[in-house]
Every structure is written in structure tokens, then in C-alpha cells.
Chains A and B, each alone.
Chain A
């Protein structure tokens, strides 16, 4: 089992719709959760982080964390073609003794104009 799992996609949504990206993790001791966006040929950039159960909103982005179910999600409201990218979920894996982030393989999002 991978430590961090994401559906590779592509997830295709029409412009203006809500895009929902999901991520599950295996280490119940994980404490910090991140979403990075990676445009094709570019490096990842941080868009959201969440530490506590519940929702965290930042503009059109909402991160949702459910530690009991070990999943974290990212909602993008009013999706724009410029949101088309690969979204990487990342968690700390302190249970393994490693303090660096463990990344999922990413979900490719396509927003259709």
C-alpha cells in the first residue's frame, strides 16, 4: 500500500464547475497535510495546507481533512482553464520517523473552456 494515494485522473470538469480532488494516506500519525499544484514542466507550488479536522477555505480553494477516515480533499470552486494542472497531495509521515513530506503521485485536472 502506498503511503499517500491519489487517483491519477485525468479529472475533467467544465469551466465554472467544482473540481473535487481526493487523497488518502496510510500513516495514522500524520499531522500535516498539503496540496501542491504542478503545471506541466514546472515545479510544484504550495496552494493549501491544513492541520486540523474540518474545512479550511482560501479564496476558491477549500481543503477538507478527516483524520478518522484518513483522507484529505481539495475543492476548487468556479474552476478555470488556468487551474488545469496536476495536484499533489503531501503529508508528513512522522510515524516512519521521516520528517520530510511524502507525496502522492498526483491527480491531473483538466478544466474544459
Chain B
């Protein structure tokens, strides 16, 4: 596609439920990143995929968070047993030239 596509754009869930957030990167981009942004805050790194290399998971805040990237393209971020502090905008980005990121519009997660 023309840009990074994320879905859903908004998700409201109850505490304790699992959620899945999807990211479809720009075609041909080998790197894919997940960040999250809480209200009025900067971007917090979560996970980074580069080609077929093992992902850099060093930013995942707990074992409730996981992500996969299938076929080197679409990625899914899964949050199990959601907590209220998980409420944030989850941003996906992709890049061809390393570090020049193109962001999607984000998935706004609200945990009640």
C-alpha cells in the first residue's frame, strides 16, 4: 500500500481481555517497529523486526506483550490480560533505509 496501515484505529476493551493490533507496512520495507505513546508522552520503543533476523524485543514491558511478523510483512502485536496502564496509542512504523521511519496512524487502545 501507499503507507503503513494499522487496525483497528480505536479499540475499547475491558480489563483482563486480550487484544490484537495489526500493522501492514509499506510494501518492500524490511524493518518494522512498534512503539507506544501515552497521552502527552514521547514514544516508547516496544519491538523491532529486521528482515529474517531475530526481533529486538528489549522494549516489551512485560510478558503479557508479544508480537510476530508473518512472511516478513504484516505484524500483529498481542496484549494479553490487558491492564488500565496499557491504555495508549500503539504506533507501527516501517523503513527501507534503516532508521528513516514511516509511521501509521496508530491504534488507540482504551482499557476500562
- Chain B positions near chain A (C-beta within 8 angstroms): 33, 35, 41-45, 48, 50, 56, 58-59, 91, 98-106
Partner of B33, one of A32, A100, A105: A100
Q: Which A residues, 16 to 67, have Cβ-Cβ distances below 8 Å to chain B?
A: 32, 34, 42-46, 49
B91-A98 in contact (CB<8A):
no
Task: Give A48 Cβ to nearest chain B Cβ, in Å.
Answer: 11
A43-B42 in contact (CB<8A):
no
Question: In the bound complex, what is the Cα–Cα distance between A92 and B26 (angstroms)?
Answer: 22
Residues of B within 8 A of A100 (CB): 33, 45, 48, 56, 59
Closest 8 CB pairs of A and B: A105-B42, A43-B103, A100-B48, A103-B43, A103-B42, A32-B99, A100-B45, A106-B42
Closest residue on chain A to residue B56 by CB atoms: A98
Question: In the bound complex, what is the Cα–Cα distance between A80 and B43 (angstroms)?
Answer: 25
